[in-house]
Chain A
Amino acid sequence: TALRFVDKKCYIRARFVYIYLSFCLSLADYFSQGKNDSEDSGLRFASCQLLWKQINSETEKIQEELNKQLFDNLIRFLRQSHSEFQTKTTEWMCRMKSSEIPTAALVLGVNVTDHDVTFKSLSEVLQDNVTPYVVSLQAKECPGIKHLLQKLMGQLMDCYVDADSSEEEECVNISQKKIRCSMASLSKWYENVTKKTGSETPSKKRTSSSRHWQSPPVVVIFKDMEIISSQHIHEFPLVLIFGIATSPMIIHRLLPHSVSSLLCIELFQSLSCKEHLATVIDKLLLTTQFPFKLSEKVLQVLINIFLYHDFSVQNFIKGFQLSIVEHFYSQPLSVLCCQLLEAKKRVTSLSHNQCENIRSLPSFRRYVESQVSEKQIALLTEDSFLKEVTQTLLEDLHIYHENYFTVLRCLHVFTTSLPKYPLGKQIRELHCACLGKSVWETEEYESAIQLLRMLAKDELVAILQKCAEIFISPSGKQFSNTVEKLEEFLARFQNLEEANEVQDVSVSSQKELQKKTDLYHLQKTLLALKESKRSKKLTKFEMLRFEVVDFIDSLVRSYLAPAEMQTLNEVVYFNTANTLREHLNAAPRIALHTALNNPYCYLKNQTLKSDVGCISNTAPDICIVYKLHLECGRLINLVDWLEAFSTVVTAVEGTDPEAVATDQVDEIIHARFIRAVSELELLGFIKPSKQKTDHVARLTWGGC
């Protein structure tokens, strides 16, 4: 049934997105055929593609960097694992040890959708660096040992052809004709290969990187395979790589000891997906490199899907891509969403329509209202003046972003040192908080500032130093004053320290004296000291601390204004979160309910427009039946249901009431009813019940 089917086919949603995207991207004329055909659709499409290309290459770079460490370790392990095979040592030790298959267990986390990419790049890296013979097997592809070996041999032979296609093609042809899938033939094949190519490249190793994702049928296969392999290990070197999604414990659970004792397992931990996401956000969103930005709500949707549902960075990037496409498609002014210089150039060639579009932007209207009246008129009537102003506004927006990200990072340094993280631990949370509304008006910010006022000195100094670094590192023209100020603070802290040392000495000498008095007196004096401290004026350090915090506060107030307040923010910010949510977080049950409960929503037939609660007779039969069944309990009496149905249907047709009164239901209506009910059954809303005759059971709960 349809409802159940949804949870079986879990990737339907992903596929939808994919189809949607491929549709968007492959058909350039999709843009031009859309509703805004006049407004530079071609240009928008081109800039959209360019932007996506850049972002895509950036994400790939990030991925590569993140995986580098892991892959390096893995390659080192693979190189080492069969060194003794190459040197062919026949020591006593080697003879005595049982031959174990070196195995790398790769713990990758639960975001299975991301693994494909990782494994793909892994096998590429291995092929380049270690050995041409890399096989990657997937659990779902190998339901039995036969398939597994077939796949393994197939991939190996292909690799082999790739590796040295010129010389030994005939040999490959023979073996492919009748692949006898057994380990024996595998090892024979390896012997052949090494014999022929061995003289030239003796370092060639065969690595079979097999991945399996904890599905029971595969494990059975692996069990057998490992037993076999151990006998052949002296004949040909084999390395297994397991991809593990949950915890390495699973190896022990799935493989009996007799098998795991043949494996020499080493563990490799990949980066957690949360860290991965943090890097991606840092490199893609918190930068001026890309003109396109996400508004708070959209970002929240994407992050929520990530945290609540799938932990998949790939899906996050897909969602990001979708929002780019959606933005360039739906916002005609997105033509200006490109690098600043290019954007300025484009402004000059804007059509009159586009100028009108600019004038209708809410943020621009706000801006106009704040101007003097002559300027207002000029802005609203003269296109050329508007274009000039737009150019400066775009520049302002660019500068705003530059400042924003720098100050954001600086504030993040401060907030991460606070207990309980009132503004969030991750920079993305802080970003969201700042994007949405004026952060300094929130309670969290208030409490954060309170906590900042209580920081210890060494902490504060360390934070200030970090901030200074942040301000120095970028182009830093705008922030030369700030840096100076920070350095001044640091210097003053330094001075304080020296002054404090002098004070400390005097205090300690005081204490020296007190030691000689008895306990009671000591307590008394200590209490007195405390009192005096409390009542005392603020120390120099405290004064300075206040100053620092106030300074930071002023920075935040001047630079972290929410993006929505910026003029022309609509050009670069994508903010229709609802569209995105609909596309990414499909709700099949809700869609089904809406379709049945309010068919106008999908059919767009004016006659179907009706008030909530009343049942229109013009609706399709199944809708009427569905609405009626919502009013019933767990068991539905079919006769009552039919009567209600016929009442609704005939009432609308409005024939003579006499016929209804005869209590005889029309045969056609009866047939329509039966069809509608069986359709409902097919959709999984009801099922036949054996508890009572002439009753069916409802499978869903809750009313309208």
Chain B
Amino acid sequence: MPNFEHPEYPEATLLHLESMVPCRESQVSSLLSIFGERQHFSFPSIFIYGHTSSGKTYVMQTLLETLELPHVFVNCVECFTSRLLLEEILTELQSLSSENKHGSHMPCDTFNDFVRLFKQEIIIQDLQNQTVYIVLDKAEQLREMEANVLPGFLRLQEMTDRNVTVVFLSEIVWELFRPNTGCLEPFTLYFPDYSIGNLQKILSHYHPPEYSADFYAAYINILLGVFYTVCRDLKELRHLAALNFTKYCEPVVRGEANERDTRRLWKNIESHLKKAMQTVYLREISSSQWERIQQDDGEPGHLKGLSAHAHVELPYYSKFLLIAAYLASYNPARTDKRFFLKHHGKIKKTNFLKKHEKTSNHLLGPKPFPLDRLLAILYSIVDNKVAPTANIFSQITSLVTLQLLTLVGHDDQLDGPKYKCTVSLDFIRAIARTVNFDIIKYLYDFL
């Protein structure tokens, strides 16, 4: 007895559909009932949301393809302007009928054109009698297009007077979409995250043909035990599972253990997986490098990850500029006297402080400072005399392009530009050490 019941479709198709969408049965059945029969008018728009890789796109695609409903599937990231999006929909619509695979290009600049062309196309394709589905994947991008696009799609049924349903797939909730001017509310449907049981079921579903399902399920169980706490992304997990499976099979291939010997297999793989979590999962080293390591059976220790190369070499004055920028960003401007004048007198920290300055500046983040202050600090921390040459100024801009400093305010402001220093304390300490500058002594927070 299939879970799905629908008078329109044969039972075999529904059974097949059910096998295709594990753990998403309830969502599919509600979608089925919303869709109704082919010729029925459905909701004008359906909004489906859920976290990353909760099967939105997959379910939608399988559903529409298995039931052979006329549909257009468009990824909004690909079409970064509304014009591209509308044209893409029309082209896809053209290619619905099989004989005309590569439709001719239709210029379509405005939504008005789109409605007109859409109506034409429906008649050409002879689709008046069934619901056409337009699925907009990654619908978040619609918010960045012209203001009329989203409301337009929401009432497409009304405007074209055709049997059409627009489906939005998104990772964020509908409330964040709703335009200020108001619009037709879509039917919203939530796809919850897969639970650990669901993940186990889905991942084990696609076991490699050479090994039994049980064996693979046991492997998935171990894998989830390690990774579930940090990652619930199905795609990522599947990727990791595929990467590490050969290592898991090693004892079996060598004949040291049989497929049932879970304990030994677990011992073999566990540390390996943990290492994978620190490296491959964070993309510290690439998957292909990881595979190569596995093949060579070497320790991944000798292969340094991306963050191991944190060291940056800078010209001498750039280092001092960066240090000066750091000091300017994290010290209150009033304390400059205390640090950079010879006879500053004694200033006690407690009296000297205003109330809000008592919080650590490092917790508050870098503050913007004007160029003049940067140069003044630079002149006082460099031992020998620095001439304000064009080279020094160009280094400031270089540091900005290297993203070690950022320009605050607009790029065009030539008069009194302000900067912020964006490097971390560890980084600046490493830099300061190379020029024998004790930066801690100059930082107000560490006084």
Binding site for B on A (CB under 8 A): 1, 4-8, 10-13, 80-81, 92-93, 95-98, 100, 102-103, 105, 107, 109-110, 112, 145-146, 178, 180-184, 213-216, 224, 227-228, 231, 245-252, 257-258, 260-261, 263-267, 269, 272-274, 305-311, 585-590, 684, 699
CB of B77 within 8 A of CB of A684, answer: no
- CA A80 – CA B286 in complex, angstroms? 14
Task: Tell yes or no: B402 within 8 A of A by CB.
Answer: yes
CB of A182 within 8 A of CB of B415, answer: no
- CA A105 – CA B304 in complex, angstroms? 14
Given contacts A12-B390, A110-B313, 8 further A-B pairs with CB under 8 A are A13-B391, A96-B206, A216-B403, A224-B80, A252-B282, A263-B286, A309-B395, A586-B391
Question: Known: A105-B306, A266-B288. Is A310-B395 also a contact (CB below 8 A)?
Answer: yes
- CA A264 – CA B289 in complex, angstroms? 9
CB of A6 within 8 A of CB of B393, answer: yes
Residues of the A chain whose Cβ atoms lie less than 8 Å from the Cβ of B84: 180-182
Residues of the A chain whose Cβ atoms lie less than 8 Å from the Cβ of B394: 7, 10-11, 13, 309-310
Question: Known: A7-B396, A180-B105, A267-B306. Is A110-B402 also a contact (CB below 8 A)?
Answer: yes
Residues of the A chain whose Cβ atoms lie less than 8 Å from the Cβ of B52: 258
CB of A245 within 8 A of CB of B402, answer: yes
Q: Of the candidates A10, A269, A588, A699, which one forms a contact with B397 in the assembled complex, judged by CB atoms under 8 Å apart?
A: A10
A352 to chain B, nearest CB (A): 44
Task: Tell yes or no: B181 within 8 A of A by CB.
Answer: no
Q: Would you list the 8 A-B pairs with minimal beta carbon distance, nearest first?
A: A10-B394, A7-B393, A96-B242, A248-B306, A309-B391, A264-B286, A586-B390, A98-B239
- CA A269 – CA B306 in complex, angstroms? 11
Task: Tell yes or no: B7 within 8 A of A by CB.
Answer: no
CB-nearest residue of chain B to A183: B78
- CA A251 – CA B206 in complex, angstroms? 32
CB of A265 within 8 A of CB of B75, answer: no
Please name 20 pairs of A and B residues whose Cβ atoms are closer than 8 Å in the assembled complex, sorted by A.
A6-B390, A6-B393, A7-B371, A10-B394, A12-B390, A96-B206, A97-B238, A109-B313, A182-B79, A182-B84, A216-B403, A245-B401, A246-B403, A247-B310, A249-B306, A252-B282, A263-B283, A264-B287, A309-B316, A699-B372
CB of A178 within 8 A of CB of B105, answer: yes
Question: Known: A228-B75, A246-B404, A264-B287. Is A107-B414 also a contact (CB below 8 A)?
Answer: no
CB-nearest residue of chain B to A584: B391
- CA A80 – CA B87 in complex, angstroms? 37
Task: Tell yes or no: B208 within 8 A of A by CB.
Answer: yes
CB of B235 within 8 A of CB of A110, answer: no
A537 to chain B, nearest CB (A): 44
Task: Tell yes or no: B364 within 8 A of A by CB.
Answer: no
CB of A110 within 8 A of CB of B314, answer: yes
Residues of the B chain whose Cβ atoms lie less than 8 Å from the Cβ of A92: 206, 208-209, 242
Task: Tell yes or no: B311 within 8 A of A by CB.
Answer: yes
B:98-124 near A, CB below 8 Å: 105
Question: Known: A7-B371, A249-B310. Is A586-B414 also a contact (CB below 8 A)?
Answer: no
CB-nearest residue of chain B to A92: B208
- CA A115 – CA B286 in complex, angstroms? 25
Residues of the B chain whose Cβ atoms lie less than 8 Å from the Cβ of A257: 283
CB-nearest residue of chain B to A254: B403
Pick the most buried of A5, A92, A213: most chain B CB atoms within 10 A of its CB: A92
- CA A611 – CA B121 in complex, angstroms? 89
- CA A539 – CA B417 in complex, angstroms? 70
CB of A587 within 8 A of CB of B390, answer: yes
Residues of the A chain whose Cβ atoms lie less than 8 Å from the Cβ of B66: none
- CA A228 – CA B316 in complex, angstroms? 42
A250 to chain B, nearest CB (A): 7
- CA A659 – CA B190 in complex, angstroms? 91
CB of B402 within 8 A of CB of A13, answer: no
Question: Known: A231-B75, A246-B403. Is A585-B286 also a contact (CB below 8 A)?
Answer: no
CB of B241 within 8 A of CB of A96, answer: yes
Residues of the A chain whose Cβ atoms lie less than 8 Å from the Cβ of B396: 7
Residues of the B chain whose Cβ atoms lie less than 8 Å from the Cβ of A588: 388-390
A677 to chain B, nearest CB (A): 17
CB of A4 within 8 A of CB of B415, answer: yes
Task: Tell yes or no: B398 within 8 A of A by CB.
Answer: yes
B417 to chain A, nearest CB (A): 7
CB-nearest residue of chain B to A250: B403
CB of A214 within 8 A of CB of B402, answer: yes
